[in-house]
Structure 1
Amino acid sequence: MKLTTRHAPWGTRTALGLLLGLAGARAAAGQAAAPLDSLDGLTGKLLRYEQRGPHEKLFLHLDRPVYLSGETLWFKIYAADGTRARPLALSSVAYVEVLDADHRPVLQTKVALQKGSGQGSLVLPTALAAGSYTVRAYTSWMKNFSPDAYFHRTVTVINTQLASGAGARDSATSYDAQFFPEGGHLVRGLRSRVAFKIADKAGRGVSAEGKVLSSSGAVVATFKTLRYGMGHFDFTPARGADTYTATITLGPKRALTRPLPAPAEQGYVMRLDDTGPDQLTLTVTATGGAPTETLALLAHSRQQVALATRQPLAGGQAAFTFPKSALLDGVSHLTLFNADRKPVCERLYFRAPQRLLALAARADKPQYTTRDKVSVQVGAEAQPAAEAANLSMAVYRLDSLTTAAAPGIDRYLWLTSDLQGTVENPDYYFTATGPEAAEATDNLLLTQGWSRFKWEDVLAAPKPFEFLPEPYGPIVQAQVLRAGTRQPQPGITTYLASPSRIVDLSVAASNAQGIVRFEPKRFGGSREIILQTDPGQDSTSQLTVVNPFSERYATGPRPAFGITPRFQQDYAKRHFQAQVQSAFAGRYRHRYATERVDSLSFFGKPDETYLLDKFTRFKVMEEVLREYVPGVIVRIRKDGFHLLVVDRLNKAVLSENPMVLLDGVPVFNINKIMALNPLKIRKLEVMDGRYFHGPAVYNGLVSFTTYKGDLEGFPLDPRVLVQEYEGVQRQREFYAPRYDTPEAAKSRLPDLRNLLYWNPEINLTGLTAKTLDFYTGDQAGRYLVVLQGLATDGRAGSRSFVLDVKPAL
C-alpha cells in the first residue's frame, strides 16, 4: 500500500498546530504577568481569549505618498506579533487592496509572506480617477476580527490625463464634533471629564472653542481645543431630566451645535490622573452602589495582563494607585468591573516604548549633481550583535504635490494600530515632552477608541473562528450547494486543478456549510482553475468559488483629497515627466524576478514514466497503453473502456478505475481519455497500487501530460466549474538606470524619475553597516530618504533625511 508524502489534510497540521504553539507561548507569558485565575477568573478569560486568537499586525511601507495614474505603487509588508512586535510567520499570504472613497476596491492582490515579511507592487490604471485612496492590508486570520485592525494608509493619485490633473475638490465646509465621557458614561450628580474631537469631513482636526448649555440655556462648561481638534473639560450633569447641548465656534460665521451624550441616572465614573512623576491614580465614583461592593481593575497591553487588583467602594468612591512602570509599553486598556464581573468603565493609556530600533543612515556627500552616484550607509545604533533586522528604503522627490509624511513602523505598531481612525502626526506623541504633550496624549487616548475586541466577546462562551491562517500558501475556498438552491452539501469530495505541465491536484471534502478548502502546492500569478466533484459520488451539486478578500470595511471619515487648482503647473510638469518616463523606460516596468519552480508532481516520483517520443508513435490511445504500458490494463465492458492498474507490491490487479489526470485535471470518463489523440501527449506517468490523497483513495493513478500543459482542447464535463483565479502575485523588479560608465553618463535618454530608489530587502546583523548605491536622475531638487525596519527581537524603527541634488554645471 502506497502513502502520499503530502502533509495531512487541512486543519490537522497547518493552522491548528501553529495556533497551539502560539497559545502555549502566550500562556506562559500571561501567567508570568498575572495569576491565571485572579479577579475571580476575569484574567483567565482574557488570557484564554488571546491564546485562542493570536494578534497579528501588518505594516506596509509604501514607496511614496503621491502617485500619478499609470505609475507603479511599491510596498514592503511587515507581519508582526501584536504582543511583542516580533516578526510573525503565522501567515504566508497578505491581501492588499486599493479602495476608493466609497470603499469600492479598485485594485486587489495577494502577496507571499516569508518569515514575517513580503514585497509587492501594483500598477495604478491610467484611467484611475484623481482622488485620495486607501491602501489596506490584512491576512486571512485577521478577517476574524474587526476591519478597524487592518492596516490602512491614505495615498493621493493624480490623473494627469485630465486638463487639471484632478477632479473637483471635496468640500471641506462640513464639520463634526464628538464628545467622549471618560470611562464611557455621564452620570447625573457625578463630575466627569469629557473629551471631545472636532474635525472636518475628512477627519482632520480643526481649532475651535465652545460652551455647554443646559436645557434652560445656562452655560455649565466652556472648552477649547488644544491640538489636532481635541481637548477636554470637566462637567457635572445635574440630577433630574436636564439635557445638554454644545455650541461650537470654528471661526467667523462658522458654528455648529451638537448634543452631549445623555447622562445615566446611576452608574460609575472613572478618572485617571498623574499623581507623581511615576505614579497614576484611577479614581472611581459611583451612585447607588452597595457600600460593601468591591470593584476590580484589569489593565492589559498588547494581550499581556499588566495589572489586576481590587478596591472596595467607601462612601461611593474607590482609588487605585499604581506606578506607571506597572503598565507595559504602548497602549494599555484599563477596564473597571463591578461586583458581578461586568465591565462598567474603561479607558486607554499610552506609555511611549522604551526600546526602539535606532537606525543610522547617512549619505557620503552633502550635495549631489544630476546623474551622480549616491552611497548611503545604513546601520543600527547600539544594536545587540545577536539580533538581526530587516529594513526597506525608498528615495523620492519632494515637490509641492508631496506633502504628507510617511508614517513610521514604530509609531504604527506601538500606538496607531491599537486605535480607531486616523491619528494625525503620531510622531508628536513619541517625541514631545512636558505638560502640554501629556495632556494632548491623554486627549488622543480618550477620543480615538480601542480597535482590538469587545469585552462581550471575551466573556462569552468560546466560538470557533470562521477564518483559519494560511501558513503554507493561499487557501482556495469554494462552496458545494444543491443545484438550484442555497442548501449546502456536506461530505462531498471535491477536486481543484489548474492545467499545467506540472501536475498539482488538490482534494478536499465539504464541511457542514458545504465549504471546501484547498491548499495548492504552488499557486502564483493569474491562472485557470477547474473545480469538480466525483460524478460517482455526486452528479448534481453546484460549485461556487468564495471571494478570498474581506467584504467588511472600517468605519471612519472619507479620506481627504488635498489637490487644488493652484497646482495646475505642477500637474503639467508631472504629466510631462510621466510621459517621458513611459516612452523611454516603460519597457522595464514589467520585468519580473526569476521564480524557483518545483517541477515535482504532487504524487512525487512516479513508479512508471514514459516519454512517448522515445517510443513508436501510435494514433490510437488503446494501442499506446497495450503496447508499452504494462502497469495499466485496458478492458472493454458494456459501458466502454476501463483502466486497471497493476498493484505490483501486492501482485494483484485493482478492480476499479484509477484516478486519471490530463495536465493535472481529473478525467472520470475513461471513454473520453481513450478518444484523445495520443500524438498530443508528451508524457505518461503511472503510480502502481492504491494512493491516499487527503480524504480520497485512488486505485492507482495514471497521468497524461500534453506538450503545452493546456489540455489541447480536451472537452471537459459541462458540470465542471472553470474560472480565472489570481494566486500570489509575481514579484516585479524595480528598475533604475546606472551611470557608472562615461557612455552611460552621456546617454541622451532623459531620466525624469521621481522615485530614485526602492529596496524592500535590506538585512542587517549586529552593528555591521551596509552601503547602498544608486544614481540621481536629470531632475534637481530635494529628495527624501525613508527607512523602515523591524528587528527579530521586536524593536521597530524608522529614519528619514533629505538629499540635495543640484543641476550639473
Structure 2
Amino acid sequence: MKKISLLLGIMVLGFSFPAKGQWIPQSPSTDKIVESTPPEQLYVHINSTLFFPGEYLLYKVYTIDGSVGKVKNISQIANVELISETGEQIFLQKVSLENGVGQADFFVPTTVPSGNYKLIAYTNWMRNFGDTFFTQDVVIINPYQAQQKNLLKKRDNFPHFQDSPEFETTRDQRNLMSLNKEVYGNREKVPIEISTGSGNRKGNYSLSVRKVSQLPAIERVTAEQLVNSWQKVGVESNKFFLPEVRGQVLKGRIIPVNGETGARLDDRHISLSLPGEKMFPLIVATDEDGRFFFNLDQKRIKENIFLEILGEGKEDFEIELQKYEPLNFDPSQFSSYSLLPEMQEEILKRSIFNQIENAYFQVKPDTLVSASRDTGFHKSIEVRYDLDDYKRFKTVPETFVEIIGSAWIRRNENGERVFEVRGLGNSINMEQLPMILIDGVLIQEHNDLIELPAQNIKSISIIRKKIFRGPQIFQGAILVQTNDEEFSNFYKKPYITHIQLNRPEIKKKYFHQMYSDVNSEKRIPDYRYQLLWMPKLEINGSGKTIELYTSDVEGEFEVVLEGFTEEGDPVSIRKTFSVQ
C-alpha cells in the first residue's frame, strides 16, 4: 500500500508529458516510481485459438503482482489487442481490472479476413519493461470471403498442429475437477465437480466448455506455462509509460489557435463532461506547457465526452489529445497456419452451425452487467422542477420568475445576463456563479440557457450547496434536462472538443443453456460449440458443482479450468467427454 501511495503522490505532484504517445521522458522522478512499484504480468484465458465469423472470442484477464506472485492489480486498466501479420489492428479493447481480474469478448465479424493473428495483452505500466506482454497466436478462418491468400501461403516449415492441442495437467491437480461419466447424449445435463483438494485451492478461476476442433489448432497458453516462464526484466526504454493506477487516463494539451509562442499556457482550466448524464464534470488545470490529464472513474462508462476550455480567452486555444502509440511486432513472430484441402467439409459444417446459432441469438442472449455510477452529488441536495407539473411559460426568464425558487437572472458588471443561485442559509455570493449543465454538458455562456425555448425543457433542478470541482468553485448548480436529451448534438463552440473515447468494455453475464423440459424446447435448434463460458468462478473451501447441458453437436468436448489460488499458485486443468 505504501508503494501505491508513493506512486500516486508522485503523479499528483506534477508530471508533465509530451503530446505524442502515452509516455513521458525518463527522469529521476520516473526512476523513483520504478523502484517503488512492483512489476506486473498478465495472463489471458482464451476460450479457443481457432475462430470463424459469427463466433465469440471470449477471454478473462488475470493480473499478477510480480513482487508477491499473487493475483493483484496495480493498474486499473488492461489493454487487449488483436493484430494481423501485416500489423493491422483488428481491435483494441480496454478491460477494467477489479481485484486483479477483468473480462471481455470480441464477436468476429465477416469483415475480418482469414489469417494468422496475435492476441496481445498488457498494461500501460508493462510497456516500460520490454517484451513482457502476454501473447497468444490465434487463427481466423473466414469462408465468406473469396480471398484466402493469408492462409494459402507456401510454408517451408509448416508445423504440425494437433487436432486436439492438449496440455498436461500436473499430478497434484488431476483430481480437483471431475465428471460423473465420459459419454453423454444430446441436451443432457453434465455436472462438473470442482474441489479444493487437500491443499488451499481457494481462488479466482474461469471455466470453458467447448467442442474440440476437428481442424488443426494452435496450442493455448496455460496459466501454469506462463508463470513458469516469466522473468523480471529492467526498464528497457527511454520513454516512461505512466501506470493507470486510478483508472483510464486521458491526456492532452492546449495550443494557441494563432500559433503564438508567447501565450501563457499554465493554470487554464479544462472540463470533461458527459452528455446525456446528470453528473458533475471533472475539471483540471494545465501545467506550464499547457498539458493536462484526467483520471477517469471506472464507473463512468460513457464513450461520448465533451472537453471544454474554461474562462476568459478560451477562444484563443484549442485542445490536442495524445495519440495512442502502436505496438510493433515482427511478422516472423506469428504462427504459420495454412488451409488444406481436407479441411473443406469441416469448415462448411461449422459455418452452417454458426449461421443457425446466430439466427436464434434472441432466444439465447447474453446480458450486460449494469454498473452503478457516481454522479458526484446526492438527490437529497437537489430540488427538481418538472415543468409539466406547472403552467408552461414561453421563455426561460419567465419560467425562473414564476416557477423556480432560489435562482434568478441578473446582469453582471459588463451588462451580461447571468444566473445566480441562493446559497445555503440564504447567503448570496455574487462573485461565484453557478454551474450550468444542459443534458450533462457544461454551459459557460449563460445566455445559451436564457435563449433556449422553454417548451424544449423537461425539468430544471437547483442545487444550492457550493460545488468544488478540482481548481474551480461554483455557487450551486442549475441542471437542465431537455425533452429529447439531445442538446449536445447541436451545441457547438470553438473551445469545445467532442470525442468518442475508447472506454473499458462492459461486463456481461453469458448465456447459460438450461433444459428443464427438453421436449418444450425441441423446436429450437441447438448447435452450440461453446457449451459454457464462466469467467467469474470463485472457489471456496467446500468446492463447487457447475451444471451445463450438451447441445445437438456431437463429438469430443473439453472442460478447461484456469486461474490462480489465493496464494498465487497457477491452476490449469483439462478434462474431456464425448457427446453421442
TM over 0.5: yes
Hey, what does 2:197 align to over in structure 1?
381
Hey, what does 1:153 align to over in structure 2?
136
Higher relative contact order (CA 8 A, sep 6+): 2
Distance 1:12 1:414 in 2: 27
1:724 to 2:503 alignment: no
3-state SS of 1:629 partner: coil
Q: Are the structure 2 counterparts of residues 18 and 165 from structure 1 closer, same or farther at C-alpha, using a change threshold of 3 Å?
A: same
Hey, what does 1:392 align to over in structure 2?
206
Distance 2:175 2:304 in 1: 45
Does structure 2 conserve the Cα–Cα contact (< 8 Å) formed by 1:394 and 1:757?
yes
User: Once the 2 structures are TM-superposed, how far is the Cα of residue 700 of structure 1 from its aligned partner?
Assistant: 3.2
User: Once the 2 structures are TM-superposed, how far is the Cα of residue 596 of structure 1 from its aligned partner?
Assistant: 3.6
Q: 2:255 aligns with which of 481, 488, 506?
A: 481
CA deviation vs aligned residue, 1:31-90 (integer Å, no higher than 9, x gap): xxxxxxxxxxxxxxxx97753332111111001111102311111111110123211132
User: Once the 2 structures are TM-superposed, how far is the Cα of residue 741 of structure 1 from its aligned partner?
Assistant: 1.0
Hey, what does 2:113 align to over in structure 1?
129
CA deviation vs aligned residue, 1:181-203 (integer Å, no higher than 9, x gap): xxxxxxxxxxxxxxxxxxx6x9x
Distance 1:707 1:91 in 2: 40
Alignment of 1:244-643 (within 5 A): 360-384=176-200, 388-415=202-229, 417-418=230-231, 452-453=233-234, 465-471=240-246, 473-483=247-257, 485=259, 489-521=265-297, 527-547=303-323, 549-554=324-329, 557-566=332-341, 567-583=343-359, 585-587=360-362, 591-598=366-373, 600-602=375-377, 605-606=380-381, 608-636=383-411, 639-643=415-419
Hey, what does 2:20 align to over in structure 1?
none
Hey, what does 1:80 align to over in structure 2?
64
Q: Are the structure 2 counterparts of residues 578 and 607 from structure 1 closer, same or farther at C-alpha, using a change threshold of 3 Å?
A: closer
Distance 1:364 1:557 in 2: 45
Q: 1:138 aligns with which of 122, 131, 148?
A: 122
Q: 1:90 aligns with which of 59, 74, 93?
A: 74
3-state SS of 2:225 partner: helix
Q: 2:83 aligns with which of 92, 96, 99?
A: 99
Does structure 2 conserve the Cα–Cα contact (< 8 Å) formed by 1:739 and 1:775?
yes
Does structure 2 conserve the Cα–Cα contact (< 8 Å) formed by 1:393 and 1:760?
yes
Hey, what does 1:674 align to over in structure 2?
450
User: Once the 2 structures are TM-superposed, how far is the Cα of residue 733 of structure 1 from its aligned partner?
Assistant: 3.4
Hey, what does 1:223 align to over in structure 2?
none
CA deviation vs aligned residue, 1:270-306 (integer Å, no higher than 9, x gap): xxxxxxxxxxxxxxxxxxxxxxxxxxxxxxxxxxxxx
Does structure 2 conserve the Cα–Cα contact (< 8 Å) formed by 1:138 and 1:151?
yes
3-state SS of 2:492 partner: coil
Distance 1:722 1:574 in 2: 43
Distance 1:486 1:563 in 2: 57
Does structure 2 conserve the Cα–Cα contact (< 8 Å) formed by 1:374 and 1:776?
yes
Does structure 1 conserve the Cα–Cα contact (< 8 Å) formed by 2:40 and 2:66?
yes
CA deviation vs aligned residue, 1:337-393 (integer Å, no higher than 9, x gap): xxxxxxxxxxxxxxxxx9987771111112111211111111232223xx7301111
3-state SS of 2:92 partner: strand
User: Once the 2 structures are TM-superposed, how far is the Cα of residue 599 of structure 1 from its aligned partner?
Assistant: 6.6
Q: Count matched residues.
A: 547
User: Once the 2 structures are TM-superposed, how far is the Cα of residue 120 of structure 1 from its aligned partner?
Assistant: 0.8
Residue 779 of structure 1 aligns with an amino acid whose one-letter code is: V
Q: Are the structure 2 counterparts of residues 15 and 593 from structure 1 closer, same or farther at C-alpha, using a change threshold of 3 Å?
A: farther
Unaligned runs of 5+ in 1: 1-10, 21-46, 174-199, 206-353, 419-450, 458-462
Residue 506 of structure 2 aligns with an amino acid whose one-letter code is: R
3-state SS of 2:332 partner: coil
Distance 1:644 1:470 in 2: 38
User: Once the 2 structures are TM-superposed, how far is the Cα of residue 464 of structure 1 from its aligned partner?
Assistant: 9.5
> Taking structure 2 as the reference length, what is the TM-score of the superposition?
0.85
Alignment of 1:176-215 (within 5 A): none
Residue 388 of structure 2 aligns with an amino acid whose one-letter code is: D
3-state SS of 1:135 partner: strand
Does structure 2 conserve the Cα–Cα contact (< 8 Å) formed by 1:491 and 1:511?
yes
CA deviation vs aligned residue, 1:97-137 (integer Å, no higher than 9, x gap): 11111222111211222111111111112111001111111
Does structure 1 conserve the Cα–Cα contact (< 8 Å) formed by 2:70 and 2:568?
yes
Does structure 1 conserve the Cα–Cα contact (< 8 Å) formed by 2:315 and 2:494?
no
Greater C-alpha radius of gyration: 1
CA deviation vs aligned residue, 1:610-649 (integer Å, no higher than 9, x gap): 3333333222111122223342231136643112232334
Q: Are the structure 2 counterparts of residues 75 and 12 from structure 1 closer, same or farther at C-alpha, using a change threshold of 3 Å?
A: closer
Alignment of 1:14-93 (within 5 A): 16=8, 51-93=35-77
Q: Are the structure 2 counterparts of residues 402 and 735 from structure 1 closer, same or farther at C-alpha, using a change threshold of 3 Å?
A: farther
Distance 2:317 2:173 in 1: 55
Unaligned runs of 5+ in 2: 13-30, 161-169
Q: Are the structure 2 counterparts of residues 452 and 512 from structure 1 closer, same or farther at C-alpha, using a change threshold of 3 Å?
A: farther
1:658 to 2:440 alignment: no
Residue 153 of structure 2 aligns with an amino acid whose one-letter code is: D
Distance 2:239 2:357 in 1: 52
Q: Are the structure 2 counterparts of residues 108 and 523 from structure 1 closer, same or farther at C-alpha, using a change threshold of 3 Å?
A: farther
CA deviation vs aligned residue, 1:719-747 (integer Å, no higher than 9, x gap): 311122232222233224322314246x1
User: Once the 2 structures are TM-superposed, how far is the Cα of residue 784 of structure 1 from its aligned partner?
Assistant: 1.4
Distance 2:202 2:62 in 1: 14
